[in-house]
């Protein structure tokens, strides 16, 4: 790590050789008289070491600049108060977000670019010091997702108000990763393509029955009913979303085809031709995966298809503490190995795993662009701290997907004994309007 200090006054003593050694610096661009205290320097060294010494420069409230040399800086932040500095050094995963939201930390230039730089540095050499490890035990532990806990967690995020989400989501209020047929596709086109992509993976046919766990504002359930002629039971514990979905289904004359149920997915009963969950698994918790697998096993007909669409990771790791505490309580993106518990507990065979990571980065870029356009309106609805918090959440999510810290998995599966499956993936990309199931040629050979 290379450290730099610059002058704004002459009230302090210059760095000596011991100071330089403590900072872990190999070079000093310029030594001058206005320097941080010994405790600040020690905390900076520990924190920089912990997050992999990224090329980030920190400017303090008094003008002092710390971090790498000017010719190596990729991102800069301004820390406006000593309190914000000490919190940042103690536990950046939580207190950077809090201080940014309050305006005590300001990022110079691109927020997404800064977060990419920070995350990449952390990914290369994250070695939390003792205080960070202790605070992680307190703040990075996900909240419970039992029946009562899930209700509280979902209320925190999804019951903010439909008017807020209408400002920056697409017209159908799809709050999950879109699917971009081309890089030039609009958000509206990509969200419609995502629903079609999901339906094709489920091999839906008129008259079939579908159960959806976690239906959001109802767009997918309505799309399946309208375009594939299926009957859908959709579960959601957000009352705001359920009310909206029921009203929309009634307006489109689909209330007899789609039933929106205000209840936890764990209460689902019956047998169905398809099981689908888009964007809910992140809120389930690994300790409930076996139960989820058993539920799907009891709901899905032996000839049925299932699909899980969820944010995941390449390896198990805790959720970012700030996201867990301020934005998405109870959230946990699983690794593929963790998600496999669901299928191993039931009688399932995984057919296909698709990773749409860059599609989610593109989706979030569209959301953030629309969010910024409506930021004044959102500020009037809430306050500056809320606007900054959600800006950070969206920008941080973009950065996490771009660097591969987060993934977006779609897993399709069937009952272990189901041989009525597709021979190739042509059905996903064909323009054939009938969307009929391909029959493997080997059946004819063996008949």
Least confident span in 106-110, 374-378, 429-433: 429-433
pLDDT given for residue 443 in this prediction: 38
Contact 92, 67 (CB under 8 A): no
Least confident span in 115-129, 225-239, 335-349, 352-366: 115-129
Return the SS3 of 300. strand
Band the pLDDT of 354: cuts 50, 70, 90: very high
pLDDT given for residue 64 in this prediction: 81
- Please give the mean pLDDT across all residues of the chain: 84
Q: Which of the pair, 322 or 157, is modelled with greater confidence?
A: 322
From the number of C-beta atoms within 10 Å of its C-beta (0-12, 13-18, 19+), residue 426 rates as exposed
Rounded alpha-carbon distances, angstroms, from residue 439 to 10, 39, 204, 268, 442 = 82, 71, 15, 32, 9
Contact 238, 213 (CB under 8 A): no
Quick one: average pLDDT of 376-382?
97
Quick one: average pLDDT of 426-447?
54
Quick one: average pLDDT of 267-287?
96
**Over 90: is that where the pLDDT of 38 sits?**
no
Write down the pTM of the prediction: 0.84
pLDDT in tens, 142-185: 656 555 544 555 545 666 899 999 999 999 999 999 999 999 99
Quick one: average pLDDT of 18-47?
48
From the number of C-beta atoms within 10 Å of its C-beta (0-12, 13-18, 19+), residue 9 rates as exposed
pLDDT given for residue 112 in this prediction: 97
Contact 34, 65 (CB under 8 A): no
**Over 90: is that where the pLDDT of 16 sits?**
no
pLDDT given for residue 73 in this prediction: 83
**Over 70: is that where the pLDDT of 350 sits?**
yes
Question: What percentage of the chain has pLDDT greater than the value 70?
Answer: 76
Cα torsion 386, 391, 393, 396 to 10°: value is: -150
Rounded alpha-carbon distances, angstroms, from residue 443 to 387, 423, 438 = 59, 11, 11
Return the SS3 of 403. coil
Residue 352's DSSP bridge partners are: 412
Least confident span in 214-223, 250-259, 339-348: 339-348
What is the 3-state secondary structure of 308-365? EEEEEECCCCCCCHHHHHHHCCCCCCCEHHHHHHHHHHCCEEEEEEEECHHHHHHHHH
Band the pLDDT of 140: cuts 50, 70, 90: low
Band the pLDDT of 121: cuts 50, 70, 90: confident
Return the SS3 of 209. strand
pLDDT given for residue 99 in this prediction: 97
Element (H or E) spanning 163, and its range? Answer: helix 162-166
pLDDT given for residue 416 in this prediction: 94
> For residues 250 and 256, what is the distance between their CA atoms, to the nearest angstrom?
9
pLDDT given for residue 243 in this prediction: 96
pLDDT given for residue 437 in this prediction: 44
Quick one: average pLDDT of 129-149?
58
Q: Which of the pair, 72 or 260, is modelled with greater confidence?
A: 260
Q: Domains, the chain, ranges and CATH?
A: 17-139 (3.30.1050), 147-359+399-446 (3.40.50.150)
pLDDT given for residue 323 in this prediction: 92
pLDDT given for residue 220 in this prediction: 98
pLDDT given for residue 147 in this prediction: 53
pLDDT given for residue 98 in this prediction: 96
pLDDT given for residue 143 in this prediction: 55
Among 73, 77, 120, 72, CA closest to 402:
120
pLDDT given for residue 356 in this prediction: 98
Quick one: average pLDDT of 233-259?
96
What's the DSSP call for residue 143? P
Contact 178, 187 (CB under 8 A): yes
Band the pLDDT of 130: cuts 50, 70, 90: low
Band the pLDDT of 26: cuts 50, 70, 90: very low
pLDDT given for residue 438 in this prediction: 44
What backbone torsions phi and psi does residue 406 show, to the nearest 5 degrees? -120, 150
Least confident span in 41-45, 348-352, 401-405: 41-45
pLDDT given for residue 128 in this prediction: 58
pLDDT given for residue 34 in this prediction: 45
**Over 80: is that where the pLDDT of 63 sits?**
yes
What is the C-alpha radius of gyration for the chain, rounded to an integer number of angstroms?
25
pLDDT given for residue 408 in this prediction: 98
Most confident of 127-136, 390-399, 417-426: 390-399
């Amino acid at each position: 790590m290379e450290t730099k200090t610059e002058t704004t006054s002459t009230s302090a003593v210059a760095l000596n050789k011991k100071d330089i050694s403590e900072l872990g610096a190999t070079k000093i661009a310029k030594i001058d008289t206005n320097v941080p205290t010994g405790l600040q320097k020690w905390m900076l060294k520990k924190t920089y070491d912990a997050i992999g010494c990224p090329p980030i420069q920190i400017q303090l409230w008094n003008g002092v600049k710390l971090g790498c040399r000017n010719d190596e800086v990729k991102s800069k932040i301004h820390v406006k108060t000593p309190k914000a500095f000490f919190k940042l050094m103690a536990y950046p995963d939580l207190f950077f977000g809090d201080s940014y939201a309050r305006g005590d930390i300001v990022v110079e230039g691109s927020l997404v670019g800064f977060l990419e730089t920070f995350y990449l540095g952390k990914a290369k050499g994250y070695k939390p010091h003792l205080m960070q490890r202790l605070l992680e035990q307190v703040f990075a532990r996900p909240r419970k997702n039992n029946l009562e806990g899930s209700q509280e967690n979902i209320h925190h995020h999804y019951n903010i108000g439909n008017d807020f989400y209408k400002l920056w989501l697409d017209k159908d209020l799809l709050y999950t990763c879109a699917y971009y047929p081309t890089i030039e596709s609009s958000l509206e086109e990509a969200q419609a393509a995502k629903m079609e992509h999901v339906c094709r993976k489920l091999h839906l046919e008129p008259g079939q029955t579908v159960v959806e766990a976690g239906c959001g504002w109802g767009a997918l359930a309505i799309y399946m009913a309208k375009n594939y002629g299926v009957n859908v039971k959709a579960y959601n514990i957000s009352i705001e979303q359920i009310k909206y979905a029921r009203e929309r289904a009634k307006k489109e004359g689909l209330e007899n085809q789609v039933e929106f149920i205000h209840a936890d997915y764990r209460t689902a009963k019956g047998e169905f031709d398809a099981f689908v969950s888009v964007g809910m698994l992140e809120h389930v918790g690994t300790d409930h995966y076996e139960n989820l697998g058993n539920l799907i096993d009891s709901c899905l007909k032996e000839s049925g298809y299932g699909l899980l669409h969820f944010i995941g990771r390449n390896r198990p790791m805790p959720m970012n503490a700030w996201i867990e505490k301020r934005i998405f309580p109870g959230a946990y993106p699983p690794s593929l190995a963790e998600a496999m518990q669901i299928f191993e507990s039931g009688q399932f065979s995984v057919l296909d795993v698709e990773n749409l990571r860059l599609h989610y980065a593109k989706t979030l870029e569209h959301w953030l662009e629309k969010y910024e356009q409506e930021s004044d309106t959102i500020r009037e609805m809430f306050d500056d701290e809320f606007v900054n918090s959600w800006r950070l959440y969206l920008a941080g999510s973009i950065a996490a997907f771009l660097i591969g810290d987060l993934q977006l998995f779609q897993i399709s599966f069937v009952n272990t004994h189901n041989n009525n499956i597709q021979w190739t993936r042509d059905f996903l990309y064909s323009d054939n309007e009938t969307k009929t199931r391909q029959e493997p040629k080997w059946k004819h050979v063996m008949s």
